[in-house]
Amino acid sequence: GYFDTIVINSVVQYFPSANYLMEVVRQAMDLLVPGGRVFIGDVRNLNLLNCFTTAVQLHQADPATDDRSSLNRRIQQALLAEKELLLAPAFFSALPDRIDTIAAVDIQLKRSDYHNELSRYRYDVVLRKGPVNTLSLAQAPQWRWGRGIVEIEALQTLLATERPAQLRITGVPNARLALEIEAMQALEHSDDIGLIQRQFITGDAQTIGLAPEAFYALGESHGYWVGITWSEHDAHACMDVVFVQASEMAQAMPTDVYLGPANNDQPSPFSYANQPASFDPFADIRRYVATQLPDYMVPAAFVRLDALPLTPNGKLDRRALPAPDDDALAHQAYEAPQGELEATLATIWAELLGNERVGRHDSFFALGGHSLLAVRLMNRVRALGAEMPLTSLFASPTLAAFAAAVSAQLNQQVNALPEITP
């Protein structure tokens, strides 16, 4: 190898798959000198994807129109549409079984005084190449937060008087994520989106969680090295805090700060990664259906469900099927309408179809149009001075093509005017 350190910072979320990341790590380890390290920063935590998505959708919710059902539906659709690579911490703790040159794995929360997307939902990883002197923290004596220790003052007394060589505090509620967890719990039983949103945005996380930086400051003031990682055996939003006397860390690389799943029924690292939705999963279906049916018969929307809702009798419960939102419709790559006529028709289409905007290559039927809406469209077009048959929309379903047909009809009507004789 040639390098002491290789940095892969804030890019793995853009990798196409966990397999690609593993190959990058494998090649990086080959380039390191013995004892060298690979730093992988800003890894998005798969265990917190639901928490993150709920926070985003709750921020964007409109209490005047959203209820719990519509909000949960958007959360589920956003989860299915996640385009970035996310990895549970257990992905990295399982890597030494696949890459034998990895001698130590250190997984920790990001250090930060600020609560933002990076500090809440991401973490850093250091992989050390062997041979190297390591200090495993897997067997450090454990105390459970809320049982043996209920406040940080008691922990301070313990460190100051008993001076343990190593100590792990498990299940510590993380103030960075406390409001998100509270909001998720509220959404399970409350329909008051406005109240949940206000409490989430204006709440005080410090009253229901502890800041990681408080533990760093406490340990360092008593001569301890401090490692803070995700708590695998409690809620994923909790922390494990590990204290090690600084003298023990002088010549050793910490490993096993993060404790992986106790019952590892899924030993493969790939079971701890998502499959990014980097493409439209329904594109192939749309293309195939379009070859078999005319445009106006192609389904306007595709919605992915984990399972079809059923009635107690085992039949399809149509009322429980989610209404497709705008994201489920077959939009083309947006290109703004050109010219006054296209812009006018785009406004009419948007009003009839309930869309925020319509591009010149969007199809009336792919955006949810049907024969009844088509009749209403023809009435609106008639007000512009063009007599268009209903079949013209089936023949020219995109905005640009339909505008061209309307323009041709307007020109034809002008040319067909009788001559005025004096």
387-414 pLDDT per residue, tens: 999 889 988 989 999 999 999 988 887 6
Is the pLDDT reported for residue 328 higher than 60? no
Number of continuous H segments (helices) and E segments (strands) in the chain: 14, 10
Is the pLDDT reported for residue 29 higher than 70? yes
The stretch 270-298 carries a mean pLDDT of 77
Is the pLDDT reported for residue 306 higher than 80? no
**What pLDDT score was predicted for residue 205?**
56
43-74 pLDDT per residue, tens: 999 999 999 999 999 999 888 888 888 888 88
Is the pLDDT reported for residue 214 higher than 90? yes
Q: Tokens for 150, please give them.
A: 């209920």
Q: Give the pLDDT band (50/70/90) at residue 85.
A: very high
**What pLDDT score was predicted for residue 252?**
87
The stretch 98-117 carries a mean pLDDT of 92
The stretch 190-202 carries a mean pLDDT of 88
**Whether the Cβ atoms of residue 26 and residue 6 lie closer than 8 Å to each other:** no
SS3 of residue 18 by DSSP:
helix
Strands 102-109 and 122-129: antiparallel
Give the C-alpha separation, 137 to 87, whole Å. 22
Q: Give the pLDDT band (50/70/90) at residue 332.
A: low
Q: Tokens for 249, please give them.
A: 């860390």
SS3 of residue 168 by DSSP:
strand
- H/E segment holding residue 119: helix 117-121
φ and ψ at residue 255, rounded to 5 degrees: -140, 160
Which segment of 23-32, 63-72, 179-188, 264-273 scores lowest on mean pLDDT?
A: 264-273
Q: How far separated are the first and last CA of the chain, in Å rounded?
A: 97
**What pLDDT score was predicted for residue 305?**
76
Is the pLDDT reported for residue 266 higher than 60? no
- Tell me the torsion sign for CA atoms 217, 219, 222, 224: negative
Is the pLDDT reported for residue 418 higher than 80? no
Is the pLDDT reported for residue 89 higher than 80? yes
The stretch 255-277 carries a mean pLDDT of 79
Which segment of 18-27, 114-123, 205-214 scores lowest on mean pLDDT?
A: 205-214
The stretch 240-251 carries a mean pLDDT of 91
Is the pLDDT reported for residue 208 higher than 80? no
Is the pLDDT reported for residue 31 higher than 60? yes
Cα–Cα distances (Å) from 419 to 386, 387, 407, 416, in that order, read 20, 21, 22, 9
**What pLDDT score was predicted for residue 3?**
96
Is the pLDDT reported for residue 36 higher than 90? yes
Give the C-alpha separation, 406 to 385, whole Å. 9
**Whether the Cβ atoms of residue 216 and residue 111 lie closer than 8 Å to each other:** yes
Nearest to 395 by CA among 365, 372, 368, 375: 365
Is the pLDDT reported for residue 284 higher than 90? no
**What pLDDT score was predicted for residue 45?**
96
